[in-house]
Structure 1
Amino acid sequence: MSPRSYENNLLIECDQIISLTEQRMSYHLAACLNNF
Structure 2
Amino acid sequence: MGGDRFYLATLSSVLWAVKWAIFTFKDKKLGRRLKKQ
TM-score (norm 2): 0.82
Determine the C-alpha separation between the residues in 2 that align with 1:15 and 1:27.
18
Please, which runs of 5 or more residues in structure 1 have no aligned partner? none
Corresponding residue pairs, total: 34
Match of residue 15 from structure 2: 17
CA RMSD of aligned residues (A): 0.8
4+ residue segments displaced more than 2 Å: none
Determine the C-alpha separation between the residues in 2 that align with 1:4 and 1:10.
10
TM-score (norm 1): 0.84
